[in-house]
Amino acid sequence: MKMTEEKFLRMKLDERLLNFTPTMRLFIEDVLQHRSTATAYEYTKDLSLLLEFTKMTDKTTVVSDDRMCHLSFVHYTDFFQYIKSYRLSFVSPTGNQLNQTFTNSTTGVNRKIATMLRWTKFIEENNYSSFVVYPDLALYDDTRPAKTYLMPETIQTLLQGVSQARAVTNWQAQQYAEKTKQRDLALIVLMLYSGLKVEECLNLTLEDIDLTRHQVFVERNPTREQQIILPLESQEYLRDYLKLRTHIELGDSNLLFESLHQGKMHQKTVRLMLKKYSERFNLTTIITPQLLRNTCEHQLYLLFDKSNNKVNWAVGRRYNEFKNQMELQNRWLNLTYTTD
């Protein structure tokens, strides 16, 4: 983000903070320590809506800090219904009084619920509130859009074909396949079992993989790192590659994946690699990184009781943490594409 844009957002954020109660301001200051200004500004807008809704329901122009810290569960649920479609009055730059209707889809409402989850967690953990609301708030479960995904039989054909260097037609291609198959398998299983994006895979370092704890550390953005589960079925491929990778001399580089020319792999290289395997093994579809990720999401959807919100949490989309997060991680650990 350019500095001018950063300053502009901070100015808009500070303007809204002038109307906030002391604890609301403390919350935004806490968000700014862990998130970008843009994210903090979105939180500020959501809290501004909550503040205006509270003024409207209380029929007052001023709401105390104590009141904002002790809103009931019913008040929050009424607020979530309200923001599905609401009207605001404001003065235009030309001085005219205007009314405008705003609407939010389920996704938009969920984003605001996620803000309220963080807000209620903050005030309860810091003893600003004696009400216990956070554990009862929950996202609306959105309808899952249909996505294309791979069948288990196709996955087994792909993994076994790469592992055994099948359908290689000449000696030179055989030599290349032997050099790259373990690297390629490790890349494939990270997208297929852990739902990583191709760029996230290529940014991983050797230190990011922790097979002992069954997890990989992924930097979702410069301010947020997430621990992603490595299912047991994927770990044999990763373990084989790590043994090979630690014996490869690549200068000062500690990147997990590098090309044979000792440079960082490009996303295009991965896409071409997957296309090559799709054609070599006569698969019914051309495999892409997104298709592997979609397949992982579909499997998680089934494992997580068909909850799209839990899948969003797993693959790094910005939603809340779940109270039974450990149970979800244990289910993920046992993700399998093996057919009986």
The stretch 91-96 carries a mean pLDDT of 76
Q: CA 190, CA 293: separation in Å to the nearest integer?
A: 9
Report CA torsion sign: 289, 293, 294, 295.
positive
Q: What is the mean pLDDT of the chain?
A: 88
Per-residue pLDDT of 300-319, as tens digits, reads 999 988 887 888 888 877 55
The stretch 172-184 carries a mean pLDDT of 90
Q: What residues contact 323, with CB distance under 8 A and at least 6 apart?
A: 135
Q: CA 84, CA 105: separation in Å to the nearest integer?
A: 7
* pLDDT of 13 strictly over 60: yes
Among 145, 124, 90, 174, CA closest to 294: 145
Q: How many Cβ atoms sit within 10 Å of the Cβ of residue 127?
A: 8
Are 313 and 212 in contact, with CB atoms under 8 Å apart?
no
Report CA torsion sign: 260, 194, 241, 152.
negative
Strand segments, DSSP code E, in the chain are: 85-91, 97-103, 209-210, 215-221, 224-229
Among 215, 189, 224, CA closest to 318: 224
Q: What is the pLDDT of residue 96?
A: 81
- 3-class secondary structure, 226: strand
Q: What residues contact 272, with CB distance under 8 A and at least 6 apart?
A: none
Domains within the chain, CATH numbers bracketed: 5-83+109-136 (no CATH), 152-334 (1.10.443.10)
pLDDT above 90 covers a percentage of the chain that reads 60
Q: CA 322, CA 315: separation in Å to the nearest integer?
A: 14
Tokens 């029929």 -> residue: 59
- 3-class secondary structure, 115: helix
195: left (phi over 0), alpha (psi -120 to 50) or beta: left
Q: How confident is the model at residue 176 (pLDDT cuts 50, 70, 90)?
A: confident
AA letter at 122: F
Among 112, 128, 132, CA closest to 53: 112
Lowest mean pLDDT of 2-11, 18-27, 65-74, 192-201, name the range: 2-11
Q: What is the pLDDT of residue 1?
A: 41
Report CA torsion sign: 188, 193, 199, 202.
negative
Lowest mean pLDDT of 18-22, 45-49, 227-231, 312-316, name the range: 312-316
AA letter at 85: S
The stretch 53-73 carries a mean pLDDT of 96
Lowest mean pLDDT of 88-97, 204-213, 329-338, name the range: 88-97
Residue 258 C-beta-side C-alpha neighbours within 13 Å? 19
Q: CA 289, CA 151: separation in Å to the nearest integer?
A: 15
What separation in angstroms does the CA of 190 have from each of 179, 196, 270? Answer: 19, 6, 13
The stretch 45-65 carries a mean pLDDT of 96
Q: What's this model's pTM, rounded to 2 decimal places?
A: 0.63
Tokens of 171: 């000696």
